[in-house]
Structure 1
Amino acid sequence: MDNTIQRVFIIGLDGAGNFIKDTETPNIDRLIANGAVTYNAQAVFPSISAECWGSILHGVLPEKHGLTNEIVEVKPYPEDSPFPSIFKLARQAFPNAKLASFSGWAPINYGIIEDSSECFKAAMPDEGLCYEAADYIRQNPDLKLFFIQLDSPDASGHRHGYGTKPYLESITKVDEYVGVLIDTIEEANLLDDSLIIFTADHGGGGDAGAYTHGSSHPMDMTVFWGCHGPGISNETKLGDLCITDTAAVAAHALGLPIPKNWDAKVPAGVVIGACHQPNL
């Protein structure tokens, strides 16, 4: 059986922490049932969106990438940064590849992902975003790297409180959107040779308050992290894992060298199938 990974999908649920274990998420569950998951992965501190998504995509801690919510809303990510994102690495290795980022929080697209990555970008509320993203997958089955950030759980946590019934219902609703993406991936015959990563950037409801996040409390810092793809099985045991490691796993799956100055690493226990090697 050919285990070559041809592409990577990163599906992020903003503010979902590890609360997916407390509510119904049948679409995520059906993939990680044949993959791997931990509910004890760690966010970075401070557990705030820009700091966390910056670490997920750039593979380094916030003190290195230097991103904050205030910065990413007004400035593009500096092209001379020594800490490239997974998108920039992929563009350098695959000059003609199709890369895409879909975000419910627009600053990810222009403040965290470098302009030089030349990836397709779209930003809108979650429901429209998932269908826009599904259309992109359907029309571009030769894509190489795909990222989507779904914003509803975090918005609901800020409005209703993290861990509350409306908040948990928002995670279940977002799982329906994830199901649209998974169905599209399957219908395009991309499931068997893709690595799909699921994660949250942070949780909420800890020391910073019931309606927010940012503290070092476990409710803010503990998140789920799962993956499905060649070389991954339900016997895969994920060791200590930080959200920064997402970048390393994605890079390794695409056959890209992991930058030595990244904090990210491929977690112990993750043995990814044979990687597609770019012309470096």
Structure 2
Amino acid sequence: MLVIGLDGALLGRIEDAGAPHLAALMAAGLTAPSLVEPDVPTLSGPGWATILTGARHAKHQVRDNSFTGNRFARYPDFLTRLASARPDLDTCAITSWAPLAEKVFSARVGTRVATPDAEYDAGTTDRAVGALRDGDPDALFVQLDGVDDAGHRHGAASPRYLEAVRGADAQVGRMVAAVGARPADEDWLVMVTTDHGHTDAGGHGGPSLAERRTFLIAVGEGLASGSVRADVRMPDVAATALAHHGLALDPDWDLDGRPLRAPAATR
């Protein structure tokens, strides 16, 4: 399983950018626009916490990018849950935004890498491709930050934002190609998602519709080609990741996410 996070990416601008690799994933699987919950800060900390834990903001209690007051001991990230339930699995998190690798994922996760700032998304992508090519990973989370940076610097309506989307698309393409080069008997699930949107002028954190926009693109067995759903929510990413590896969602976990499809013990 490969989960790619495109920080601050807007689905509509991905479509505007003419991003061929993301367009191919949308054609091959499910596209599901969604929104950050009302009254939840449209910041990376709360957004990624919801996606990675499968629990809503009221439960994980991440209010900002400091992650202060989090309840990750009660609501851990999905890689930690996988590693705890299935110690045989090779789990990996590689992030361009260092706080994700350093503050969200626990020591149970096999590999946690915060890419040095000087390498940024290029280094993150190189590491992810290397893990897929040279290792035997079962579950990877990869976060790219360049689209969010362009949104802050130039705004979501700018040509530079579209340029950043096209750059991220090329990096997604490299990772998906590395998955495709893996042994044919491996049944991979690929998900691409985001933590929040951006205003046309640039920035996020407020309650506007543009800032609240998120999405999920998912390709794997049981997900119809070219399908679109309006009932998918941010916590469903973690639930789907757990179900893909054959974990039944324990009611005691108190998760808010639901799997996109039936569980299967696969990669």
Structure-1-length-normalised TM-score: 0.85
Give CA deviations for 1:140-195 in whole Å, capped at 9, x if unaligned: 13x11100010000001000012211111101111001111111111223696101
Deviates more, 1:186-195 or 1:21-30: 186-195
Letter in 2 for 1:14: D
Whether 1:265 aligns to 2:258 is: yes
Give CA deviations for 1:8-50 in whole Å, capped at 9, x if unaligned: 1101100002221221211111122111112x21224211000
Whether 1:275 aligns to 2:267 is: no
CA distance in 1 between counterparts of 2:202 and 2:53 reads 28
Give CA deviations for 1:63-109 in whole Å, capped at 9, x if unaligned: 2212244423xx79666x21121011101121132111110101001
Ranges in structure 2 where 5+ consecutive residues have no aligned partner: none
Does the aligned pair in 2 maintain the 1:197–1:227 contact within 8 Å? yes
Whether 1:54 aligns to 2:49 is: yes
Deviates more, 1:51-60 or 1:229-238: 229-238
Whether 1:174 aligns to 2:168 is: yes
Which of 234, 249, 252 aligns to 2:240? It is: 249
Residues 76 and 150 of structure 1: CA distance in aligned 2, closer, same or farther (over 3 Å): farther
CA distance in 1 between counterparts of 2:24 and 2:183 reads 17
Whether 1:113 aligns to 2:93 is: no
Aligned-CA RMSD value: 2.3
Structure-2-length-normalised TM-score: 0.89
1:255 Cα deviation (Å)? 1.1
Ranges in structure 1 where 5+ consecutive residues have no aligned partner: 1-7
Residues 223 and 96 of structure 1: CA distance in aligned 2, closer, same or farther (over 3 Å): same
- Identical aligned residues as a percent: 26
Does the aligned pair in 2 maintain the 1:161–1:205 contact within 8 Å? yes
Letter in 2 for 1:21: E
Whether 1:130 aligns to 2:134 is: no
Does the aligned pair in 1 maintain the 2:92–2:112 contact within 8 Å? yes
CA distance in 1 between counterparts of 2:71 and 2:194 reads 25
Letter in 1 for 2:52: L
Does the aligned pair in 2 maintain the 1:77–1:111 contact within 8 Å? no
Matches within 5 A, 1:14-29: 14-18=7-11, 19-29=13-23
